[in-house]
Amino acid sequence: MTEFRDDFLWGGAVAAHQLEGGWQAGGKGVSLADVMTAGDNDTAREITDGVLPGRNYPNHTAIDFYGNYRDDVKLFAELGLKCFRTSIAWTRIFPNGDEAEPNEAGLKFYDDLFDDLLKYHIEPVITLSHFEMPYHLVTEYGGWRNRKLIDFFVKFATVVFKRYQHKVKYWMTFNEINNQTGLNEWGLFTNSGILVKSGEDAEKAMYQAGHYESVASALAVQIGHQINPNFQIGAMFAMGPTYPATPAPADVMKAERAMQANYWFADVQCKGKYPSWLQRYFERKNFDLDLTLADLDVIKAGTVDYIGFSYYASHVIKADANEPVDFMTPMANHEVKNPALTRSDWGWEIDPMGLRYALNWFSDRYDLPLFIVENGLGAFDKKDADGQINDDYRIDYLRQHIAQMKLAVTIDGVDLMGYTPWGFIDLVSAGTGQMDKRYGLIYVDKNDAGEGTLKRGKKASFNWYQHVIKTNGADLD
Ligand code: BG6
């Protein structure tokens, strides 16, 4: 007996700006990702004032999927993928974001890519906005702090929904829309195109942007369903369960508040309404957001069909004796290490059971089908003497997570649609801009300095995952 449904979407996940390259090809405009420099674990990526000479912008060339996609898709077919999750670069379709007409060359690129995938029976799973947007919308409109962004996004969504309505069934509106709740400047900027101005209330800006994005997402869901009622349009959240550091009630309440603060986006997108605690919070903080009754109707009518989420790690939180437990400060101010877990090379806590916890948490709370659209281990890979990469650590990570996912399905009855490991082909890290933070089952010969042949190669995890897919997850050995 196999545990996963027959149409289970085994796949792999990437995002346009992290693998395509071709940053100016086919009339593409400059995106937010194109003005982000490379960093590393100790050095934050910098967002420069436009593209400056002499700086290293890793997303400009990435792994040149733009030029190589036909060969890459062949390899994906050999891996046995049933689906391929990527995003559409907004700047290929609307280079500046505010044009009256879309860019035909950009539309054609995705037509060709989707045709190629479908030729191999690989279902495209498409995110509309994955951590990027036309840079012009940032400089000229202030990013998502401006209501006009709703119209630009809805136009972009409508164009691609219409164009690919017979090629793409599975969509997601915003990648990790809740990633900005940490209130750190970097996250806020890339998710919403907002660089916090001096004196600006970053928290208020985040809620305002999050509200406009929620309205834009709900409108896109409604329009998508009108264009093709068979569309499955999901939300996408970063899931990192937050556990209390101790059984002390203040820690438990702090953890609960952290979860609420992180998943109010899910309440809005899945239940179609703001949670009561957040309404009170807006009042208490006198935020006076631009949030109309008409917006609330849109949100109510535009709930999603499924929940897509990423899962890499869990977190542990400790209350601060000097502030109320419901005080909302960046998670980082309260996070402590989990003594029960080990960490990745980049310090991310490895918690396979947390994935089962997450699946149960979403399922109980929203009663919607779930789709794990990112999971994986970012690690330094080393070639053996014979040039092979025996990434047992990655196989082990994936195996343990899939085993927990299986328990969630068989024992807990969670309705799980699919699983797409992140960066299954090496690509540019979103957080650090590195190439050497590798998640891939497919190796790409390129290093942090941008050197390499870009040649693709199979790691040991490639063969392992191929077998997992072949057995529909029955055999994880
Ligand atoms: C998720 C993003 O946050 O995590 C991806 O959706 C990102 O874009 C992935 O690449 C892994 O993070 P990082 O920083 O290791 O690339």
Average pLDDT over residues 40-49: 89
Residue 3 lies in a domain: no
Nearest protein Cα to ligand 1, atom 8: 430
Average pLDDT over residues 65-73: 98
> According to the model, what pLDDT value does residue 321 have?
73
Residues forming a β-bridge with 336: 316
**Segments forming the whole domain that contains residue 302:** 9-470
Of residues 288 and 334, the one with the higher pLDDT is: 288
Residue 309 near residue 370 (C-beta atoms within 8 A): yes
Amino acid making up residue 294: A
Average pLDDT over residues 338-345: 96
Q: Is the CB of 310 under 6 A from ligand 1?
A: yes
Neighbouring residues of 202: CB distance < 8 A, sequence distance ≥ 6: 183, 185, 188, 196
> According to the model, what pLDDT value does residue 184 have?
63
> According to the model, what pLDDT value does residue 401 have?
98
Q: Is the pLDDT of residue 322 over 70?
A: yes
How far, in Å, CA of 29 to CA of 135, rounded? 8
Residue 476 lies in a domain: no
Substitution candidate for ligand 1 out of 310, 345, 448 with most atoms within 8 A of CB: 310
Q: Is the pLDDT of residue 306 over 90?
A: yes
407-438 pLDDT tens trace: 999 999 999 999 999 999 999 999 999 999 99
Average pLDDT over residues 376-387: 95
Average pLDDT over residues 129-143: 96
> According to the model, what pLDDT value does residue 335 have?
86
Residue 108 lies in a domain: yes
- Nearest atom (ligand 1) to Cα of 432: 14
> According to the model, what pLDDT value does residue 127 have?
98
d(CA 374, ligand 1 centre) in Å: 8
Q: Six-digit token pair at 168?
A: 């793409």
- Nearest atom (ligand 1) to Cα of 238: 3
Substitution candidate for ligand 1 out of 429, 432, 436, 448 with most atoms within 8 A of CB: 429
Q: Is the CB of 175 under 6 A from ligand 1?
A: yes
229-266 pLDDT tens trace: 999 999 999 999 999 999 999 999 989 988 998 899 99
Residue 180 lies in a domain: yes
- The number of domains in the chain is 1
Give the pairing type, strands 306-311 and 370-374.
parallel
Residue 222 near residue 293 (C-beta atoms within 8 A): no
Nearest protein Cα to ligand 1, atom 15: 429
100-120 pLDDT tens trace: 999 999 999 999 999 999 999
Amino acid making up residue 148: K
> According to the model, what pLDDT value does residue 108 have?
98
The whole-model pTM stands at 0.97
Q: How many CB atoms lie within 10 A of CB 399?
A: 18
Instruction: Tell how far CA 167 is from the center of its chain.
Output: 22
> According to the model, what pLDDT value does residue 1 have?
46
Residue 219 lies in a domain: yes
Q: Is the CB of 238 under 6 A from ligand 1?
A: yes
> According to the model, what pLDDT value does residue 326 have?
63
> According to the model, what pLDDT value does residue 202 have?
86
List, by residue number, the catalytic residues. Answer: 176, 374
162-200 pLDDT tens trace: 999 999 999 999 999 999 887 666 677 888 999 888 888
Least confident piece of the model among 230-239, 312-321, 379-388:
312-321
Q: Is the CB of 437 under 6 A from ligand 1?
A: yes
Residue 477 lies in a domain: no
Residue 392 lies in a domain: yes
Residue 444 near residue 426 (C-beta atoms within 8 A): yes
pLDDT band of 349, cuts 50, 70, 90? very high
How far, in Å, CA of 76 to CA of 64, rounded? 16
Residue 475 lies in a domain: no
Average pLDDT over residues 282-298: 96
d(CA 247, ligand 1 centre) in Å: 31
d(CA 287, ligand 1 centre) in Å: 31
d(CA 345, ligand 1 centre) in Å: 15
Residue 222 maps to which CATH number? 3.20.20.80
Nearest-CA neighbor of 419 among 363, 463, 359, 360? 359
Q: What is the largest CA-CA distance in the chain?
A: 65
Amino acid making up residue 100: A
